[in-house]
Structures are given as C-alpha cells and as structure tokens.
Amino acid sequence: MFGKLGKLILTAATLLSLATPALAERPQKLVIGLLPGESAPTVMRLNEPLRAYLEKRLNMPVEMMVGANYAATGEALRFGRLDIAYLGPITYLLRARSAKLQPFARPSHEMVGPTFTAAIIVPADSPAKSLADLKGGEIALGDPASTSGTWVPRFELLDAGLISGRDYTLRVMGAHDTVALAVANNKVAAGGLSMPVYKRLLKEGKIDPKATRLLLESRPIPEYMWTFRDGLDPAFKEEIRKAFINVADPEALKVFRAESFIPCVDSDVEVVKTWIDSIEKANPDTVPAMGLK
C-alpha cells in the first residue's frame, strides 16, 4: 500500500545510489553516512569531532556524507556507497530487510541508558491541553522514515485516539528544525520532533522559547544504531567497533549527549516495529510499503 508517505520514501535514490559499487573488503577511506535530521551543514558541523577522532584512531581518511533524506542514507548503505551509517530504528528496519546490515554500537546516556524521546509541541498560545485537543488540526511531522520525527509522534497520537487522515492532517516537513519553526510561526496546530533536537534548538536560540510549548514527551525510544554495510572485512569491522566502544573524547560524544557507545544488536529496535504495526492497522493507506513484515 502506498500513500503520499510511501511515494516520498521511494525517492530514496537521491543520495549516491545511482550505481552499486564493488564492495571493497577494506576500503582506503572510511565513509560515514548521516541522516539529515537538520540541514546538512549543521549535521556535518556537529559530527566533525567524531570524524576527527575516528580518523586519528583508525589512521585513515574518514569522510562524512549526509543523505538528501533518511531513506537515501539507508539506500546508500545498502548499496555499499557508505561503509557505516548512523541509522534510526525505522531507517534501519527499512533497509535491514533487504540487505545484510549489522548494527554494532549505539549511544548510552546518563540515567536513561540507550534511549531517547520525541516531543509533540504546539504554539505557545495554543488552547490544546492534551493530544486529544489536536483533533481536526494540521500536524507537522519530519522525514517519512524518521523514528522520532514521524512514527513515534503518530503512535502517541494513535494512543490518544487520533488517526492520521481521519482525525488530523499530516503535513510532511522533512527536518526536525523545520517542524519546530513551523510550530513556532503558527503555521500548524502541532509538530512532532526529536526531544534532544528540540532542546538544543531552544538552547541555541534557533527557536524562541516563548513561541512554543511542550504538549507531550513520548515514551522511551530505542537509540539510533551505528551500522556496518555488508562486505566489510571482519578484522576491519572489529577495529571500527573498538574505536566506537572505547571512545572517551567528550567532544566526539557531545552531539550524541552520550556517556559512551555500547554494543547493540538487531533485536534492540524490535519494539518499534510493533508501533508501526499498530499504525498500519489503524489506517493502512497512510503507511508506506516498507517491507517490515
């Protein structure tokens, strides 16, 4: 079943996936894929300390690439145009069903461990006091394959009795910061985005603290996972794995708000699939055909 979201996901080839290269067992440089949760320059800037750390630790060039959208990054990893990528649960599930991807590390945080949350925010002057009060409104969400920017907010809305297409209009806006700005400027009734990104936008003054209000913080979400492409030399993968697990540079960890990176496996994100299943049962026409069955 394909709705508007499905069509958007199928545009994934916009990042470096026009051709499939030969899989180099041990590449001459490490190519890292990142998701465009914000503008590409912002993502590159925030991840530069990690890139520099890996370059020094692995004694090889390390290049970062930001996908045109979430699915594009996943596709580039699947087709071997990237060596490793930082994938959210949804993006990982999308690609792992059609490629031999292997997650190996994820950030862990003080108090909450390897989890984070999503936020549903409203304009500061909104009369909404609960999610139920958003019925009939237009709600801005992020990339169609974003876990905290689309799927978790949709699940929280569903849990409150609101089904997209029936009880509210879903407006796809791409990046988290774009969603936050739409809410701050009263362009939509509400918006869903990553809570860590929302807090950072407020802290950096990108969003006026007086312009928005937090309506709901979501349930805990399994953290993003650093993931290997298929075909990498096992010894090289072990070098990369150790580089992540042993990182102690606070600057390299800063963008992830992490105390450390810890090992992870495929099953760590299975709970997310149950949330997708619930959304699909409620309104199949608004769920892209993602091959998650």
Nearest to 69 by CA among 172, 161, 156, 151: 172
AA letter at 267: S
260 to 43, 71, 89: CA distances (angstroms): 20, 27, 19
Contacts of 65 (CB under 8 A, 6+ apart): 15, 16, 31, 32, 33, 34, 73, 76, 82
* pLDDT attached to residue 192: 98
Q: State residue 286's pLDDT score.
A: 64
pLDDT at 97: 78
Q: What are the tokens at 290?
A: 């993602």
For residue 262, list its beta bridge partners. 106
CA dihedral 280, 284, 287, 292 (to 10 degrees): 50
Instruction: Say what the pLDDT of residue 292 is.
Output: 44
- Tell me what pLDDT residue 284 has: 75
C-alpha span between 32 and 63 (Å, rounded): 6
Strands 221-222 and 190-194: unpaired
pLDDT in tens, the chain (293 residues): 334 444 444 343 344 343 344 444 688 999 999 999 899 999 999 999 999 999 999 999 999 999 999 889 999 999 999 999 999 999 898 888 788 899 999 999 999 999 999 999 999 999 999 999 999 999 999 999 999 999 999 999 999 999 999 999 999 998 999 999 999 999 999 999 999 999 999 999 999 999 999 999 999 999 999 999 999 999 999 999 999 999 989 999 999 999 999 999 999 999 999 999 999 899 776 655 444 44
